[in-house]
Amino acid sequence: MSQIRFDDRVAIVTGAGAGLGRSHALGLASRGAKLVINDVGTSLDGAAESTDAAQAVVEEITASGGDAMAHGADVTNVDQVQDMVAQTMERWGRVDILINNAGILRDKSFAKMALGDFRKVIDVHLMGSVNCTLAVWNIMREQGYGRVVFTTSSSGLYGNFGQSNYAAAKAAMMGLMNVLHLEGAKADIRVNTLAPTAATRMTEELLPPEMLAIMGPETITPGVLYLVSQDAPSRCILAAGAGCFARTIVYETPGICIADDQLTPETVAARFGEISAPQGQEALTQALEQTVRFVKRAAAERGITLPES
């Protein structure tokens, strides 16, 4: 297998001043990419600002012979994000890779959470990813190439007590990926999502040292580099941690079709085991597939002939 390289590719990594973002940026730079190190320099909850961390990563890259620049755009600020992309284009003339990694935490149980904290986390994770992706989208379309990674979380995919805001934002990454995969396909824009678990500021107080010791960000970055490579997949949710990798796929069971005279909530309750049975489940690739599947099955049950599509 040939080595995955990023020579002549330009990548923007948000939240790259520390943790996963820093690891992803260093990994890309080590394989030839030119880097924009974006970090507003906030604390874990989004307070305080300094670009020192981003500049330190730039200095690491340039000391190793790489090419990088720092930018302190707040990903929730559209004007700052557009300025970051404009400076990238002025310096290198293209943007090939965007890794949406920036994030904050403001954990609290749902009943005790202030709406402002809910909105802020949604704004950084979801709207921050939207702002950055939209800023590079037409550039990628016009150049006929792009690789975008969103960052989700097991909290978003499976739930975690006290993280309703974070989980809601992270679950949204899957829907955003699914649509942009479809809309970007003709321009060879491949869109994927990373579900990482690593030793970072977000986990260092939650896990014992023995676990953290084998969960460094560098154990995840190889998966990200594949997701943004020339031969990357698209619409993939890659779970990663401690050098382990798995793929998360949403399946839909075959289910049942209930005849008109039995179409009651009591029938749904009585047959819920059949509805939930996983045998024959499949992954759907577009929303309309579910609609067509349901309508065809219902028509067959009722003896209705549908027009050929």
Of 209, 99, 215, nearest to 154 (Cα)? 215
Of 132, 24, 32, nearest to 88 (Cα)? 132
What is the C-alpha to C-alpha distance for residues 120 and 105, in angstroms, rounded to an integer?
9
Active-site residue among 158, 166, 226, 251? 166
SS3 150: strand
**158 noted as active-site residue:** no
What is the C-alpha to C-alpha distance for residues 230 and 147, in angstroms, rounded to an integer?
8
Q: What is the dihedral of CA 37, 43, 48, 54, to 10 degrees?
A: -20
- List beta partners, residue 149: 99, 192
User: Two tokens at 40?
Assistant: 């507003």
For residue 22, count CB atoms less than 10 angstroms from its CB and return exposed for 0-12, middle for 13-18, buried for 19 or more. Answer: buried
User: Two tokens at 300?
Assistant: 């067959």
Active site residues: 166
